[in-house]
Homo-oligomer: A and B are copies of this chain.
Amino acid sequence: MSEENKSGIPLPTIRRLPLYASILFNARDGKQTTISSSYIAKELGLEPIQVRKDLAGIGITGQPRIGFPVVELIEAIEKFLGWDNTSDAFIVGAGNLGAALAGYPGFKKHGLNVVALFDCDYSKIGSKIHDKEVFDIERMGHLTERLGVSIGILAVPAEVAQAITNLMVDAGIKAIWNFTPTKLLVPNGIIVERVDLAASLAVLSSKLTAAIKGKKSN
C-alpha cells in the first residue's frame, strides 16, 4: 500500500510541512515577503522540484524569479495541518511517558488539546496530572462518546500496546498516536501514526560520527 493520504497528498509531503513552516516563520520574522524554492530546498537538503511539488500540492505556486509569498504560504500550511483550530485528545497510559506528554507545552500550538488520561492502575485513577484527571480505562468508551474525542495518544508499555489499542478501538477512538515501539494492528479505517525516534537518532549519530572523524583527520 502506498503511503498516500485521502487528500491525494503523499504523507512525506505532509511530514515536511512543519519544516517548511519553521523556515517560513523565520523568513516572516526577518520581514521577508517572498522566498524561493531553491532556498527552502537548500535549507532542508531537498531537491527544489520536490519543494515546488509539495507546495503545489497544498495549492500554492511560486512565480518565476520572485518566489513564493511567505504569509500566504504560512496560512495555507496552518490551515492544511489544522493548526488554526484544536482537536481534543486522550492520553492512554498515565505512567512516566503519559505524564510527560500531559505536560508537554508544544501541543496546543500544533492544534492538540489533551483533555484527560486513562489508566488501569487504581493508585492513579482519580488523581490529576498537569491538571488533567486520570480516569479508569473501563470508562474510555463512555467518555469518548460523551466528549466526542477522536484522538488517543498511546503511552503504555510496549508489551501491552496491542491489547490497549484494541480497547481504544472498541471505545471509538479513530486516530492513535503511537508513542510505543510496537507496530500496531488495527481495523480498516482506524488511523495510526507512530512517533519515529529512530530517524531523529540517526541524524544525531551520523552528525556525531562525522564530527569525530573530522577532528581525527585534522
**Residues of chain A having any CB pair with chain B under 8 Å:** 1-7, 9-19, 42-47, 49-50, 53, 80-82, 87, 95-97, 99-100, 103-107, 110-112, 150-151, 155, 158, 174-175, 177, 181, 189, 191, 193-214
Contacts and interface: CB of A to CB of B under 8 A. Distances in A.
Nearest to A41: B2
B42 A2 contact: yes
* Number of identical monomers bound together in the oligomeric complex: 2
A45 B189 CA distance: 20
Contacts of A3: 43-45
Interface centre among A87, A200, A209, A210 (most CB of B within 10 A): A200
Contacts of A181: 104-106
Given A96-B97, A200-B177, A208 B15 contact: no
Given A3-B44, A175-B207, A17 B202 contact: yes
A44 B106 contact: no
Interface centre among A49, A104, A177, A206 (most CB of B within 10 A): A206
